Homo-oligomer: A and B are copies of this chain.
Amino acid sequence: MEITVSRKAHFNAAHRLNVPEWTEQENEEYFGLCNNANYHGHNYDLIVAVAGQIDPISGYLIDMKWLGKIIKTEIENRFDHKNLNLDCVEFKEINPTCENIAIVIWNKIREQLPENLKLKITLYETERNFVEYNGN
């Protein structure tokens, strides 16, 4: 029987949506205000959900303090108070849409998790817009 354990975290970052292959006008039309060349920013709220079997002795699926450290090292330290386009090598080649940021985060945490655990990422760009990704 499977159980899912989730932990919330957050980071504050600047970004800009832009596709280099498109003209300035195409980018403006498609991304609107998000295309502002001088960047804008968000408080990103992140939920990391891990699923698997609980340990019958400890009653834990996973040590949350360990998961919290992984999120701090892999995600918060990399992205918090950064400009995603300029400061983060992860977004040199890909557009930092909420969808792409969620996939990047999923990949980084996936690498650290034991293989028998499933992973799902929920990323809020604003209170009204959010993305979910589970690798399938």
Question: How far is it, in angstroms, between the C-alpha of A119 and the C-alpha of B36 when the chains are bound?
Answer: 31
Q: Is the CB of B6 within 8 A of A131?
A: yes
Copies of the chain in the assembly:
6
Q: Which residues of A contact B (CB under 8 A)?
A: 1-10, 12-15, 17, 19, 21, 30, 32-34, 36, 38-43, 49, 54, 57-61, 63-65, 80-83, 86-87, 94-100, 102-103, 126-133, 135-136
* CB closest chain-B residue, reference A43: B43
What is the CA–CA distance of A9 and B63 in the complex, to the nearest angstrom? Answer: 23
- Residue contact A3 to B132, C-beta cutoff 8 Å: yes
Known pairs A36-B81, A58-B19, A83-B36; A14 contacts B2 (CB<8 A): no
